[in-house]
Each structure stands twice: as structure tokens, then as C-alpha cells.
Structure 1
Amino acid sequence: MTLILDDTKQLEFHTDMGEIIKPIKEELKSLNWILTNQEYTLLDYKEKGVVEKLDHESEIIHFDGQELLEILESRQIQFIWGVFCATKKRILKLDQDQIPYADMNSEIWTSPDKFLLPDSEIEIICFDSSYTIIKFKDKELEERWRIKFTDAKKLKKKNAS
């Protein structure tokens, strides 16, 4: 099932990944992650400067789970756009047409339960800083996440505009 947070007081801002990952952080550490289609603002830039690993110009940023967890827990980052995909195996290369994206991707709405990257175990989509969309292959993990984020709703299929 695909879940969406679109109107919640449970987060300071909708795409606060530091909060979003809290219920799943132990599992997050054991997975390999990519971030694509990223646009973000470092809310703590004046105090802490840049995050070396994050690069607006990169199509794909690779993280091991521990590395991603450290960034998300130690920095205050608002992801305006971004697709976080977690896999069991490291993703070495993707063809251009395989790179997951959120901006202007109607499949998010017309095929909400389809993973943008078929090998994903977890996908978190930061959509225009207004929505956080999350998908889990592991139903137990999904339920644990839903206990914390009670405002999350099932994302229902919509016709493309």
C-alpha cells in the first residue's frame, strides 16, 4: 500500500525526512539507498554549512543506510523534491529511463502502488514540499510506521490530468 501525508500537524514541514525515518531507522541502516530528482534547502546551512554528499547537480546520489541516517539525523533539510529508494543490493547503474523521479511523474497518481524502482524495499517521495509519499514491501514495517504517522492515508489512484 502507498501512504501519503498531505495535511498533518505531525511534522514541522511535510518533507522532514529526519522525522519520517524515525520509526524505521534500524531497518534503514541495513539497506542501500539512492536519492534522485532532488531539490532541497539546508535549513541549518548558516550553522553547519553544506552537506558534502548532497549535490544538486547529481542525477543519482548513493548512500549506505548508516551514512544516510547520520545525515538525516544530524541536519535539518527540507526536501522540496526527491525520490529515496532503498534496496537490499547496491544499485550500480541505472539507464536514464530507469531513474525514479517525482516532478511531473503522473504514475505516482495513476499507479500509486507501483514502485518507481522495481527493486525498492522502501520508497519515500518528497513531492513539491507539500506531500510525503511512502511505500513499503514489508507490511510489518509499514504498520510500525503508521503507528507514528496516524495522519497518513492510503494514496488512491487518480486519473492523470
Structure 2
Amino acid sequence: MNLILEKTDQVRFFTDMKEVFAAAEIAPQDYDWYVSDIETNFTPEGFDVGDQWIRGEELASLIHKQEIQFIWAVFSAVPKGTRPTVSEPPYVDGNPDYWDGKDPAPQLEGALFEIACWDSSATILINLPERAQRAFIAKYSDTQPLTKAARV
């Protein structure tokens, strides 16, 4: 099941990836990440807002050192040490696949799951492992199936 967290006061602000990972009990360092379609509230020193591969350890360090709000972004998790070819970068801004009432799959071929930051007002979780889904819902009870949020 794919999930969305929006329209709630259960979070201080949406798309704080440190909080998203903690709620889902996901250790970013357990994966490598392709991060794309990025817009943040500020650009920390040493971080590029262009589409990029980032090692899990680097991502964990970045989000724990800085309080970053990802306004738009897609975090695609892949097994450590793999770097699938990116023919079309995953995107969230204007992506109709989130809202057509179907359950989308991760956009990046080879990705295990995807976390999308939607306009600083929603967090979309695609293909999260079941354990992570349960943990996220336990932390944020306002989480809903993405198909209920369809904006057709």
C-alpha cells in the first residue's frame, strides 16, 4: 500500500526527512539514494540541489546536522552499492501518477521504495516495506492510503 500524510497537525512541518525516516524506522545509511526534483527551504553548505546520487551515510549526516525542509523532492532508495541507470529522473512536482487513483510504483527502475515531498504540504510514501508502513502509521495516525487522496 502507498501512503500519504497531509492535512494534519501531527507534524511540526511536513517533509522534514529526519522525522520521516525516524517515524518509518528507516535508517538512511542502510541504502543508497537518488534524490531528484529538489527544492529546499535553504541550501546547506556542500549540498547541491541538482538531481544526484548520495550515499546513505552522507544523507543521514546531512539531515541530522541541518534542519532542512524539502519543499519538493523524490528520495529513491536502492540497495547499497547499486546505481541503476537513470533514464528519466523521478519527479514529484506535476506528477499525475500520484493522483490517478492507482497505486504507483517507484519511478526509478531498481528502487526499493520512494519518498516524495509534495510542496511542503504532504509526504508521499511509495512501496515502503510493511514494517516501515506500520511504524509510520503508528507515529502519524492521520496517514491515509494514497488512493484515498486521488485528485482526479
Would you call these one fold, judging by a TM-score over 0.5? yes
Once the two structures are aligned, what percentage of the paired residues are identical? 29
**Structure 2 CA distance for partners of 1:118 and 1:92, relative to 1, 3 Å:** closer
2:71, 2:117 within 8 Å by CA — same for their partners in 1?
Answer: yes
Give the secondary-structure state (helix, strand or coil) at the position aligned to 1:107: helix
Give the secondary-structure state (helix, strand or coil) at the position aligned to 1:156: helix
**Structure 2 CA distance for partners of 1:93 and 1:130, relative to 1, 3 Å:** same
Paired with 1:129 and 1:23, the residues of 2 have a C-alpha distance of 17
Segments of structure 1 that go 5 or more residues without pairing to the other structure are none
Segments of structure 2 that go 5 or more residues without pairing to the other structure are none
Return the letter of the residue paired with 1:33: W
- Compute the displacement of 1:64 (Å): 1.3
- Compute the displacement of 1:75 (Å): 0.7
- Residues 1:152 and 2:143 aligned together: yes
- Compute the displacement of 1:24 (Å): 4.2
What root-mean-square deviation, in Å, do the aligned CA atoms of Structure 1 and Structure 2 show? Answer: 2.0
1:81, 1:125 within 8 Å by CA — same for their partners in 2?
Answer: yes
Paired with 1:147 and 1:136, the residues of 2 have a C-alpha distance of 17
Which residue number in structure 1 is paired with residue 36 of structure 2?
A: 36
1:25, 1:69 within 8 Å by CA — same for their partners in 2?
Answer: no
Give the secondary-structure state (helix, strand or coil) at the position aligned to 1:67: helix
Return the letter of the residue paired with 2:48: D
Aligned pairs (5 A) from 1:27-106: 27-42=27-42, 50-52=44-46, 54-56=47-49, 58=50, 60-88=51-79, 89-95=81-87, 98-106=88-96
